[in-house]
Structure 1
Amino acid sequence: MTEQPAQPLPQKNSEPNTFRDKPVSFVRRSGRMTPSQERAWVEHHTKYVIDVPRGLAATSVAEGSTLDLVELYGREAPLVVEVGSGQGHAILHAATEHPEKNFLAVEVFRAGLARTIIRAETAELSNLRLAEVNAPELLEKGLPAGSVDELWVFFPDPWAKVRHQKRRLVNLDFARISAHALRPGGMLRLATDWEDYAEQMREVLDAAPDFTREFAGDWAERFDGRVLTAFEQKGAAKGRAIRDLAYRRV
């Protein structure tokens, strides 16, 4: 990816609604990156960050820009995609434990991606790539249909206020897009510490024609491939139950 040296993150929403016909699940607000994050981005982002052709918005994906995964990773291997990877704790652990698989971290916050790059360099990972894009657009336009073996959505923004819940990532359209990206038999794994969002996710995916439950009872068992993060521990400490869901692409 060829890009100018990292710039400070925007302080306000840089994704005007006029650029898209539906709301996104994020608002790009953040402070400046730390000096170590800036340095990691400048020195190593071409090694990890995919050069995704853009539409009008800063994190959009242009039409007709399907990526060549074999070229990106230098091999054919099962692909695991994490939506909203944050600082990369889950996907870095998985990429280290499973060198036989390819991993793709999707995140719109550059500071989180830079932190992921720092840890990837320390671990000398060659099977991890990053994408600074709106995840639904990447899944629908940027990845070949049926190319994803597992799709992870761990602790997405709950948009707790009722008036904001239209921004929640997991809805029927996201289920459709996920089914498009996943291979038949591929897995969609989700987790949240917001009960009403967990119930919404379950309702949406139970109704999605391309998915079937991979759990019995109300909730799935905790996915053992998901490392316990400080974020999850904080939610549990506040008394919020951690809910996992698992669905298979039929």
Structure 2
Amino acid sequence: MSEGVTPARPHHKLTDDGRRLREVLSYSRRGARFTPRQAEAWHAHQAAWVIPDEAVDRPGFAFSSWFDREAPLVVEIGSGVGDATAALAAARPDVNVLAFEVWRPGVADTLWKLSEAGAENVRLIGVDAQWAIEHLVEPEQLAEVWTFFPDPWHKKKHHKRRLVGPAFSHVLAQRLVEGGLWRLATDWADYAEQMVEVLDAEPLLTGGVVDRWDARPVTRFERKGTEAGRSITDLTYRRSSASSSST
């Protein structure tokens, strides 16, 4: 987003002696084998709706250039198998949706669901969302962000890998337009408490726990949480001020 060399993507950083640098990431990559339906959807729609990971390394890269029009930009962090992505994008054809998902079969499932829903206003990419939002998204560019059921990293020693932490939350708040929304949901009570603690402390955001967003469909992850006896917490925070410089 700024002039000069774009910082290296996660997994591309090396130590001084050429070894791959281990980084703390908010996700883990799983297997990439396709089912027949996933393979069919991938071959039919990947070229039009999936941004190649390597594209972000090109000078002058901009997410807006991958959409067919100018429209408010909504980001989904962790689109999974696309249940929410397809339903929400189809219901809001006036926005462009940029969905981050590192699990390739999930991306293929999403492509199939987008096609079934007739939602052509979505682009998907598999790079690290935290890195991309910090380095490739301009301040005050995002109309809305969706983060539904992010990896809870429920073991205490792994809490540092949780997506919603002070540093990233400040970066994301800066990328929201004034009045822009960050919608979140989780089925882990301690993660909900952490979200409230972190986001309440962010001076650019106001909000808190809210009633369930009616537009959000019940996803596979939500059903699993409910079946396991966990309560669902929805949160919404609004960007309250445009008076902040970028990081």
Please give the alpha-carbon distance, in whole angstroms, between the structure 2 residues aligned to 1:222 and 1:234.
17
The answer to whether the Cα contact below 8 Å between 1:189 and 1:246 also exists between their aligned partners in 2 is yes
The percentage of counterpart residues that share the same residue type is 44
> Which residue pairs with 1:248 in the alignment?
238
Unpaired stretches in structure 1, ≥5 consecutive residues: 1-13, 55-60
TM-score (norm 2): 0.84
- Does residue 162 of the first structure (1) align with residue 166 of the second (2)? no
Q: Are 2:50 and 2:125, in contact at CA under 8 Å, matched by a contact in 1?
A: yes
TM superposition score normalised by structure 1: 0.83
Q: Aligned ranges for residues 179-198 of structure 1 at < 5 Å?
A: 179-198=173-192
Aligned to 2:200: 206
Shift of 1:248: 0.6
1:237 to 218, 222, 227: 227
1:108, 1:132 within 8 Å by CA — same for their partners in 2? yes
Aligned AA (1:196):
D
The Cα of 1:20 is off from its aligned counterpart by 5.8
Q: How does 1:5-84 map to 2 (within 5 A)?
A: 15=11, 22-53=23-54, 62=57, 66-69=61-64, 71-84=65-78
| Unpaired segments ≥5 residues, structure 2 | 1-9, 15-19, 241-247
Q: Shift of the alpha carbon at 1:200?
A: 0.3
Which amino acid is 2:151 matched to? D
User: How many aligned residue pairs are there?
Assistant: 226
What aligned pairs does 1:73-222 form with structure 2 within 5 A after superposition? 73-213=67-207, 215=208, 219-222=209-212
* Aligned-residue CA RMSD (Å): 2.2
Measure, in 1, the Cα distance between the counterparts of 2:210 and 2:21. 34
Identify if the C-alpha distance between structure 1 residues 68 and 16 changes in structure 2 by more than 3 Å, giving closer, same or farther: closer
Alpha-carbon distance, 1:81 to partner: 1.1
Asked whether the equivalents of residues 71 and 94 of structure 2 are also in contact (C-alpha less than 8 Å), the reply is yes
Q: 1:52 Cα shift?
A: 4.4
